[in-house]
Amino acid sequence: MKKVLLFGATGHLGKEVAKELLQQGYDVTAAVRNEAKAQSLSGITNNHVVVDVCKPQSFTAIKDNFEIVVSALGKSVSPNDKSKPTFKDVDLDGNTNILNFAKEKGCKKFVYVSALHSEKYQHLEYFKVHHEFSERLMQSGIDYSIIKPPAIFSAFLDIIEMAKKGQLVNIGKGDKKTNPIYEGDLAKVVVDSITTKNAVIEAGGKTIYTRKQLNEIVNAEVKRKKKVPTIPIGLFKAGLPVIRLFDKNAFDKFAFFIEVMQHDTLAPQVGEMTFEKYIRQKVNS
């Protein structure tokens, strides 16, 4: 049984990756920031080690040897996430610390969940750090798999509450297309990639939607009768310099949102779960 060390295990995607690893017969240990975080994995795996990826010295807590490292680690893009670490702190520096550990311990495989089109939008911090770490991984000498989804369904959970409060809006025309993927479907892509040598894999959901359609699906499910209003994208752009003065993290997130609203973001269609079914389950749970 091959031993896997999983980072980002307590996130929506990380939990699904842990389940899929166990289902496929891997011996899984989750690296968590603290014991409180480990409690959320109690129904999945009891094997964990406490590591703060932003502190390289904390990796000394890892005593076992692992053949495979999987990183689903990443700072949340949710506006409700008020944590102080930046995208660079977590997505680049944190993952680099993981990579350095993997190299030092002679790990044979490193699987990393990146972001679709990160190479195209390096003027934005979110994409820049994903691309830069991917480059470091490819040059590391370790067999790698880099998984690049357009988005995962759980990234849209915030808009359920926004819709309930009547705060949901379309940014611009909302006509750009994307195919986000259910994290359970993406987890299978992640785990299956372990046996694929030096791979870059783009993976999206089975159905393509416009940004406006995604909002309408949520709005309809929460039974809001009023249509989702549209706000010109120029108004959001005009506010970015002000946001940047007061909150760099918030600026990086809103700059990311505005950019993706202006482009089609499509990956090869895989998986089974539809966005409609996912939102229905979340609203009624």
The rounded mean pLDDT for the chain is 94
Containing 66, the helix (H) or strand (E) segment is none
* Residue 268 is assigned to a structural domain of this protein: no
Cβ density class 45-65: b for 16+ within 10 Å, e for less: bebbbebbbeebebbeebeee
* Residue 13 is assigned to a structural domain of this protein: yes
Q: Tell me the residue range of the domain where 139 lies.
A: 3-154+181-202
Q: Is the pLDDT of residue 224 over 90?
A: no
The structure tokens listed for 18 are: 């842990």
Q: Which of 8-12, 96-100, 202-206, 236-240 has the lowest mean pLDDT?
A: 236-240
- Only one residue has tokens 């406006």, namely 212
* Residue 223 is assigned to a structural domain of this protein: no
* Residue 109 is assigned to a structural domain of this protein: yes
The predicted-structure confidence for 66-92, as pLDDT tens digits, reads as follows: 999 999 999 999 888 888 999 999 999
* Residue 252 is assigned to a structural domain of this protein: no
What secondary structure letter does DSSP report for 117?
T
Q: Which pLDDT belongs to residue 125?
A: 95
The CATH number of the domain holding residue 38 is 3.40.50.720
How large is the greatest C-alpha to C-alpha distance in the chain, in angstroms?
A: 57
* Residue 258 is assigned to a structural domain of this protein: no
Q: Is the pLDDT of residue 1 over 80?
A: no
* Residue 216 is assigned to a structural domain of this protein: no
Q: Which pLDDT belongs to residue 86?
A: 94
Picking from 193, 186, 151, the residue whose alpha carbon sits closest to that of residue 16 is 186
Distance CA(265)–CA(127), nearest Å, equals 13
The predicted-structure confidence for 136-169, as pLDDT tens digits, reads as follows: 999 999 999 999 999 999 999 999 999 999 999 9
Number of domains in the chain: 1
* Residue 112 is assigned to a structural domain of this protein: yes
* Contact in structure between 125 and 85 (CB atoms under 8 Å): no
What secondary structure letter does DSSP report for 155?
G
Distance CA(82)–CA(107), nearest Å, equals 34
